[in-house]
Structure 1
Amino acid sequence: MAHHEVSTTVDVAPNILFDYLSDVQNLPTYLPRMTGVHETGPLPETAQGAEARRPKEPVHHEVEVTAEEPSGQSVRSEAWIDVVEENRTLRWGAPGDSDYHGELEVDFVADGTSRLTVRLDTEHADDPAIDDELRKTVEGIKTSIQGWSPSSA
């Protein structure tokens, strides 16, 4: 199993950055190859607010994603996304035999500044192309958040 990690600072308050990243519908705006996402099941009742969940209990999303491979071929797959608001963490993975999963965390640095860390674990051998994709993803997040505001969501 190969572990990959990329971090950067983003000049956006942590709560605003996490609100943007944790909205499943925003995924295609900041993931370079993702072209679509939709929920495949209803959200649990605990998705209605933190008061409906135990501390640090994630809101679980079952989704289908559409992405474009480097070859240009479009692919669809099932995935899951867990959102943990209290510690601003988003975890994801794909069901099945592969052990593909990852997470991102948003941490406070200073007023109006966050630290974004993205981690990815995959069964593929260490591959510099994966690190390049992670860097592109982090840069995509920084670029896309600049044009987003909570009122435009």
Structure 2
Amino acid sequence: MGEYTGRIEIARPPAEVFAFLSDIRNMPSYLPTVTHVGPQGHHDDHDDVAVEGEAEGKPYRNDGWMKAEPEARRMRWGSHSLQDYEGMLEVKDASGGAAVELRLSLTPKPEVAERLQREHGNVDHGMRLALERTLGSIKACCEQGGMEAGGRDTPRGADDLADSRPFGSSATLNPDI
């Protein structure tokens, strides 16, 4: 399993950035393969979520979990079907705003690893580039005014998302992974 980390600074208050990122309705705004996310139930230590979208021209649906820890401005997530996948995001104080730190633990699917090897010469390098693109997308969304509830122009309610599924076929929420 690979460990991939990245960090980016955002010129917005940390509490505001965390509130935006931890609201699952906003995920389609900054995760390009995701089209719908919705709650699927609550457990003592996490919420089940569902995400659906499209990656590499193919639709996906999957179930996962997410745990938001507002007091630490931390979010953790994983997939129920991909046991070797989990992620963590923390929003910290930084000069001029917030710093988002992202960590993914995963083994890319064989077809994804082959593509990353072919396109980038190295799976780890391709994964790091994809992680950087995801962080860039988060920064752009937060700094360029996309931080309203529900992310896109029209906020989505949880009832609109009941059929969604999580974390996509790539297991990273990034079309390049």
Q: TM-score range by the shorter chain?
A: 0.7 to 0.9
- 1:120 equivalent in alignment to 2:120: no
Give the structure 2 partner of residue 4 of structure 1. 4
Q: Distance in 1 between matches of 2:66 and 2:130?
A: 19
Q: Structure 1: which 5+ residue stretches go unaligned?
A: 47-57
1:97: Cα distance to partner? 5.0
Q: Secondary structure at the match of 2:72?
A: coil
Q: Structure 2: which 5+ residue stretches go unaligned?
A: 114-122, 150-177
1:103: Cα distance to partner? 0.6
Q: Secondary structure at the match of 1:137?
A: helix
Aligned length: 135
For normalisation by structure 1, the TM-score amounts to 0.80
Kept in 2, the 8 Å contact 1:98–1:123? The answer is no
Q: CA RMSD in A?
A: 1.9
Q: Distance in 2 between matches of 1:31 and 1:5?
A: 17
% identical aligned pairs: 32
Runs of 4+ in 1 over 6 A off after TM superposition: none
Q: Secondary structure at the match of 1:66?
A: strand
Q: Secondary structure at the match of 1:127?
A: helix
1:33: Cα distance to partner? 1.2
After superposition, what is the alpha-carbon deviation per residue over 1:34-93, rounded to whole angstroms, capped at 9, x for unaligned?
Answer: 11111112x46x8xxxxxxxxxxx6x22111112112x1010000111000111001110
- 1:67 equivalent in alignment to 2:50: no
Q: Distance in 1 between matches of 2:24 and 2:134?
A: 15
For normalisation by structure 2, the TM-score amounts to 0.70
Mapping of residues 106-117 of structure 1, within 5 Å: 106-110=91-95, 112-117=96-101
- 1:135 equivalent in alignment to 2:135: no
1:22: Cα distance to partner? 0.7
Mapping of residues 5-24 of structure 1, within 5 Å: 5-24=5-24
Q: Distance in 2 between matches of 1:90 and 1:64?
A: 16
Point out which structure has higher relative CO (alpha carbons under 8 A, 6+ apart). Answer: 2
